[in-house]
Chains A and B, each alone.
Chain A
Amino acid sequence: MIDIIDVTKSFLSVDNSRLQVLLQVNFHVNRGEFFTILGPNGCGKTTLLKIIHGLLAPDSGSVLIQGRPVSLRDKTRSFMFQSLNLVPWKTVWDNIALPLVLMGQNKSEIKEKINKIIEFMGLNGFEKHYPHQLSGGMQQKVAIARALVTDPQILLMDEPLSALDAYTREVLQDEILQIIEKRGLTVLYVTHSVDEALLLSDRICILTPRPARIKDIVAIDLPKPRRVSLKNTQEFSRLRKIIWDKLFS
């Protein structure tokens, strides 16, 4: 479904020297797979995800989605930002509508889709609220609703839960698991939390510190459907140790 081929990226840093961020990254993500990119802070995970969505161009290498070069015009993907990026002057309703409005869909079509997604995410009654009037968890749900409203096949998520408290985080991890099962989405997920990666992923790709290279790709064969309670099992602890060792070796 998604092929990342020899992707290399560097940035010009403040002192005009080249900062190598990604070095010849290669992997393949299958349809319906939950694929997590795990790595230390500042290693280039976000850069990699943005390249996969087409928000940044690689210096060399390429990204193919279903065999075709990636394009921002293609609406089969949704990107969820770490900082959520809800538009502060738009209501919950208008925020969720934004992707559809930009696609030029007509009003009745938009209304129907939003009503459906608001029901699905349990956001009823909050349609007219502005983002600052919502709790962190609710804002997160709005961002998820906005990402799902276009009915994408691929979801790219950049540490979407990192700003939440531990409790809300677990609640939303469960919620994300259920959404993805229900919708059969292919997910590319970026995180620096080993527990989150283990709980959610089919495979975890571990990156080295900058310049990021692939250190290892580990398949997680924990039984499905998974729930947060899985974190207390022995098997989970065993896998956690394996990932930690690989991350810090």
Chain B
Amino acid sequence: MLWRDVRGIILRTVPLVIFLMGWQVASYFTRPIILPSPTAAIGGLAQLAIRDELQFAILTTLTALSLGFATAAIMGTFIGMLIGWFKKAHTALSPYVYALGSSPSFVFIPIIILWFGIGFEARLVYVIFASIIPVIINVMHGVRYIESELIELAKSLGASQLQMLRHIVLGGATTFLIAGLRLGLVRAFTATILSEMFFRLEGVGGLLSKYSSVFRTPEIFGLIVVIISLSQVALGVIKLVERRLLKWKPQIT
């Protein structure tokens, strides 16, 4: 490890330490039900972990998130390629894609509950629905910005439309696809937690809802930290995917 890396880690730890110290100090002057100390929050989490409640909740949340987001990523790439590649499809469909993309997805929650209930399927549908649009939009853009020279190359080799999509269009859109995956993941995570809080109580979001209703503040704070950590893990996975898909690019950092 280089000194530069070590220094980076130290610099990034400083704000966290200051924050935790400030939190600890502030909690001395506040009633625990309003602001519990960081140690109390960790204690609350430990309580949940001892009863296996936390592990099970995390597993439930990650299952819905990964299944829903993977489906959205694959379907979104496919749909985005088709809409981006076929001019008529783009003219006909892109305004509706943008309209859906710029409206809050939670307005569809009542309909999703009506159609799919409040169980696992409903959560899955909501996660897919919320996260597929940014993937579609980005892939669509990526396809439209592919270098015309590469398309001409494939033509000169007598490629069919299907071969063109597979060998040229898909690869050419990866940079945009990654951007779409990042945006989509944030939405998918939000949708997962939201649906756990407002459909049937499940997963980490369900725990948060449950302990909120009985004013168990230490658990609430502990769960918030868990949720933030999970989002970082998810983004880490995207980083790995990015490194794998874009290793052909010059100077990727």
Q: In the complex, are the beta carbons of A81 and B157 less than 8 A apart?
A: no
In chain A, positions 64-94 with a C-beta closer than 8 Å to chain B are 72-75, 79, 81, 83, 85, 87-91
By a CB distance below 8 angstroms, the chain A residues around B152 are 55, 81, 85
Q: In the complex, are the beta carbons of A55 and B156 less than 8 A apart?
A: yes
Answer whether residue A141 sits at the interface, using C-beta atoms and an 8 A cutoff.
no
By a CB distance below 8 angstroms, the chain B residues around A81 are 149, 152-153, 156
Q: How many residues of A contact B (CB 8 A)?
A: 22
Answer whether residue A61 sits at the interface, using C-beta atoms and an 8 A cutoff.
no
Partner-contacting stretch, out of B92-100, B167-175, B207-215? B167-175
Contact with A along B139-159 (1 / 0, CB 8 A): 000000000011011111111
Answer whether residue A126 sits at the interface, using C-beta atoms and an 8 A cutoff.
no
Answer whether residue A219 sits at the interface, using C-beta atoms and an 8 A cutoff.
no
CB distance from B209 to the nearest CB of A (A): 45
Q: A72–B161 Cα gap in the complex (Å)?
A: 13
Contact with B along A186-222 (1 / 0, CB 8 A): 0000000000000000000000000000000000000
In chain A, positions 31-89 with a C-beta closer than 8 Å to chain B are 53, 55, 72-75, 79, 81, 83, 85, 87-89
Q: In the complex, are the beta carbons of A87 and B171 less than 8 A apart?
A: yes
By a CB distance below 8 angstroms, the chain A residues around B172 are 89
CB distance from A7 to the nearest CB of B (A): 18
**In chain A, what residue has the closest Cβ to B154?**
A102
Answer whether residue A130 sits at the interface, using C-beta atoms and an 8 A cutoff.
yes
Whether A87 contacts B153 in the complex (CB less than 8 A), given A75-B158, A102-B158, comes out as yes
Answer whether residue B229 sits at the interface, using C-beta atoms and an 8 A cutoff.
no
CB distance from A110 to the nearest CB of B (A): 14
Answer whether residue B248 sits at the interface, using C-beta atoms and an 8 A cutoff.
yes
Q: Which of B163, B174, B247 has the most CB of A within 10 A?
A: B163
CB distance from B159 to the nearest CB of A (A): 5
By a CB distance below 8 angstroms, the chain B residues around A136 are none
By a CB distance below 8 angstroms, the chain B residues around A241 are none
Answer whether residue A132 sits at the interface, using C-beta atoms and an 8 A cutoff.
yes
Answer whether residue B250 sits at the interface, using C-beta atoms and an 8 A cutoff.
yes
By a CB distance below 8 angstroms, the chain B residues around A137 are none
Q: What residues of chain A have their CB less than 8 Å away from a CB belonging to chain B?
A: 53, 55, 72-75, 79, 81, 83, 85, 87-91, 98-99, 101-103, 130, 132
* Beyond known contacts A53-B156, A55-B152, A89-B174: 13 more, CB 8 A cutoff: A55-B155, A72-B155, A74-B158, A75-B158, A85-B150, A85-B153, A87-B153, A87-B171, A90-B171, A101-B167, A102-B154, A102-B157, A130-B247
